[in-house]
Amino acid sequence: MSMRRFMVGAAGGLAISLGAGPISTLQAQGASSADQQFITRLAAANLLEIRLGQATQAKASTPSVRQFAQRMVADHTTMQQQWTALAGRYRLAFKADLNPRQMEQFERLNKASGVELERAYMAVMVQNHRDYVSAFQNHRRIVTSTEIRALIDRDLAALEEHHKLAQEISSQPFAGATPTTGPRPDTTSTGSTQTGLPAQNIKADSAFISEVDAGNVAELRLARMAESKSTDPTVKAFAQRMATDHSSMRNEWAAVSSRNGLRFSANINPQHQEQFTRLGGLSGGSSIAPTCPRWCRTIRRT
């Protein structure tokens, strides 16, 4: 299965985790049928997060990924317990069952391992928590119960923090993709390697992928900064799109690199750092003129 298919399936499963689901009969005043829908879907979403976190925690080798998975298990377990208690006070149904698509997504990720698992899990977490934040914000606008609104506010802050942290971890090197790990090209006296490619091609490809990865990391950093500082919904949406797309690009290039015995490291070059510094000094309606870094132009020519 290709990394692209894996990521599309995983992101799709999480996108519907707060989507359509069974609706139980509302039994109490003070909560609406929309609250019942929200709570029913939230129960499944928390269960999914707990299971994904447990599976990743057991197999991840990158400390930041393992710690993030541990936190997801702890935080979403707490959320589940508190929403269960609230549902009981309002006599609302609260049954945590994964639907077929969620179960399929969990099984797909649970079969993965190594860098593929870690990159896929973190990219899924970025998409997942972005969807959660949107769902919580939307329901907050219509909720009438002050107690439910208070719990939404508290969990919304936690989910926003999860989303930001997931983006940060996704932009960092993973243990299985560092320059000191992975298969090393075996150069023979004839100048060829185990991949069947000439040694000079291996070197050139490794340099190219290193440049691409550095560009993707720069885009992720710029997107996170713009998303956190911008007040324009269009700009924030674009920054979120950049974070998601360039995270997926990193996953796919890492998979190609691993299959071909290539090694790369993401080092922010002076041009990237200069852009990051300039953007960091701007706020509000200020903007940076659109630029295409050298790695972007290189891909266009390839």
Percent of the chain past pLDDT 90, that is, above it, reads 33
Give the residue among 183, 201, 187, 193 at the shortest CA–CA distance from 263: 183
Task: Give residue 28's pLDDT.
Answer: 42
Task: Give residue 198's pLDDT.
Answer: 53
Flag whether pLDDT at 14 surpasses 50: no
Is the domain covering 3-170 a CATH 3.30.460.80 domain?
no
Q: How many angstroms separate the CA atoms of 6 and 22, rounded? A: 27
Task: Give residue 181's pLDDT.
Answer: 39
**117-153, pLDDT tens digit by residue?**
999 999 889 998 999 999 999 999 999 899 999 999 9
Q: How confident is the model at residue 3 (pLDDT cuts 50, 70, 90)?
A: very low
Task: Give residue 264's pLDDT.
Answer: 56
Flag whether pLDDT at 85 surpasses 70: yes
Task: Give residue 24's pLDDT.
Answer: 39
Flag whether pLDDT at 203 surpasses 70: no
Name the token pair of 144.
């009438």
The mean of the pLDDT values for the chain is 74
What is the mean predicted confidence (pLDDT) over 192-210?
54
Q: How confident is the model at residue 302 (pLDDT cuts 50, 70, 90)?
A: very low
> Mean pLDDT lowest for which of 33-37, 197-201, 204-208, 287-291?
287-291
> Could you say which DSSP state residue 192 is in?
B
Q: How confident is the model at residue 210 (pLDDT cuts 50, 70, 90)?
A: low
Quick check: 126 and 170 in contact, CB under 8 A? yes
Q: How many angstroms separate the CA atoms of 152 and 6, rounded? A: 31
Flag whether pLDDT at 293 surpasses 60: no
What is the mean predicted confidence (pLDDT) over 221-228?
73
Please name every residue paired with 192 in a beta bridge, in sequence order, or none if there are none.
198
Flag whether pLDDT at 299 surpasses 70: no
Please provide the DSSP assignment of 206-239 as one string: HHHHHHHHHHHHHHHHHHHHHHHH---HHHHHHH
Give domain limits for the chain: 3-170, 193-301
